[in-house]
Amino acid sequence: MRVHSCVPGAGDDAHISDSHRCIGNEASRSLRGYIVKGAALEQGGFQWKGGRPSGRSSPGVLLGIGFLLAAVVWPFVGKEYQVYLSLSFFSYSIALLGLNLLFNYTGLISFGHALFLGIGGYTAAFMTHKYSILSMELIIVVAVVLSGLVAFLTGLICVRYIKIYFAMLTLAFGMLFHSFLMKTYSLTGGDEGMHVTQPKLLGMDLSQMDKMSFFSGPYYFYSLVFFLAAAFLMWRIVHSHFGLSLQAIRDNPDKAEYLGVSIRRYRLYAFVISGCFTGLGGALMAPVTGHMDPAMVFWTHSGDMVFMTLLGGFSNFFGPMLGSLVFIFLRDAVSSFTEYWRFIFGALLAALVILAPGGLMGLLGKVWSSVAGPGSKEQAA
């Protein structure tokens, strides 16, 4: 007499059918777990426990609210140069939202994502310098579309592989683009790069303002709006059924495929979305730097992006953004007294991996757990 966890059938055929039904039910329960988890996360920071929200806000939500308030008042209280540095934070954070969609939610690590930063940046350079198209909104649209197109074409190859093979393929495509920029001097300026002309914002020509006033004023709030919109959109993506399916693929691809999820197609979608976000970050970054050169797409720049993600903590939605903030301001401080800032950052990363593998957000989570008391550990994640 056979005993099954599902309703038993008769005979061998029925036994096989029942076994498949059991596997399917187990997989469905697993995927439903992701859906329940996502619904809990969407409760504005509430943690779902036993069918009732605990009512405690997570440190990530508090950090987000605190950041929003600080970002609004920062141009009025911060020094002009520090406000200018914040523009790089907005650009990198948008790019890292895209990178972390692959890293954390899909289980794929890219070592060539500076490719899409370069596409966004060079789009701005081409349109403003070569063709005198100064509409920032049009530049952003073209940059996002081109980044998505390149991500789709390269992703068709990359998503066929995982782990180190995926990472090496993305690195290879990034270096191919770097070589293209270096060799096509008549088109891209080669190693000298291209100048980026100050764009118009919402049709307004603000060229009469001096650059620091422009960047610490109108362009700051312009970038802030795009950053908040991008963060909100990515939050909705990762907590949608699509985002939960990506997590199911990351954790158990065989089970996800059994449920009918097309693994390659979903990974390709994630890669394209990631490329679009990174291209947007590159387009916003170009006017700030005022110049685009092949160093923007070099593999070390991709490494910096991975470093920021690890520094903040890739397993937390807000982690890469915190990592970019610390990286930008710490790099500026360290590089002011030594040119070997990469050596110092390498030592910092090694210490972080050993002492705090969850990154800075992991450390904040531990502090939150000790302050908030029992039951807050899950919220900190």
Query: What are the extents of the domains in the chain?
Result: 1-40, 58-301+328-350
Overall average pLDDT of the 192-214 stretch: 90
Determine which of 82-91, 135-144, 211-220, 358-367 has the lowest per-residue pLDDT on average. 358-367
Closest CA to 285 of 106, 171, 149, 121: 121
* pLDDT at residue 17 tops 80: no
Question: What one-letter code names the amino acid at 237?
Answer: I
pLDDT of 288:
95
Predicted pLDDT of residue 26 = 47
Q: Please give the pLDDT value at position 182.
A: 93
In this prediction, residue 59 carries a pLDDT of 61
Q: Residue 223 — pLDDT band, cuts 50, 70, 90?
A: very high
pLDDT band at residue 292 under the 50/70/90 scheme:
very high
- Please give the average per-residue pLDDT across 211-233, as a whole number: 94
Say if residue 265's pLDDT is above 60.
yes
Mean pLDDT calculated for residue range 235-242: 94
- Judge residue 275's burial from the number of C-beta atoms within 10 Å of its C-beta, 0-12 exposed, 13-18 middle, 19 or more buried: buried
Structure tokens at 35: 């859906």
- Residue 200 in tokens: 């118009």
Half-sphere exposure of 305 (CA within 13 A, CB side): 33
pLDDT tens for 318-347 read 889 999 999 999 888 888 887 788 888 888
* pLDDT value for 5: 43
Band of the pLDDT at 367, cuts 50, 70, 90?
A: confident
Taking the CA atoms of 310, 311, 316 and 318 in sequence, report the sign of the dihedral they define: negative
Using one digit for the tens of pLDDT, what is the confidence trace for 95-118? 999 999 999 999 999 999 999 999
13: CB partners within 8 A, 6+ apart: none
When pLDDT is cut at 50, 70 and 90, the band that residue 358 belongs to is: confident
pLDDT digits (tens, 9 = 90+) for 120-169: 999 999 999 989 899 999 999 999 999 999 999 999 999 999 889 999 99
| Residues whose CB falls within 8 Å of the CB of residue 136, separated by 6 or more in sequence, listed in order | 199, 200, 201, 202, 222, 287
Distance, C-alpha 271 to centroid of its chain: 11
Interatomic CA distance for residues 45 and 365, integer angstroms = 14
* pLDDT of amino acid 80: 87
Task: Provide, rounded to the nearest whole percent, the portion of the chain with pLDDT above 90.
Answer: 49
Residue percentage of the chain with pLDDT more than 70: 81
pLDDT for residue 42 is more than 60: no
| DSSP E strand boundaries for 52-183 | 52-53
What's the chain's average pLDDT? Answer: 82
pLDDT at 333: 85
Is the whole-model pTM more than 0.75? yes
> Looking at residue 60, what is its pLDDT?
61
Band the pLDDT of 13: cuts 50, 70, 90.
Answer: very low
Decide which of 315 and 237 is more confident. 237
pLDDT computed for residue 156 by the predictor = 95
pLDDT of residue 262: 86
Q: What pLDDT is attached to residue 374? A: 54
Give the separation between CA 269 and CA 280, rounded to whole angstroms: 17
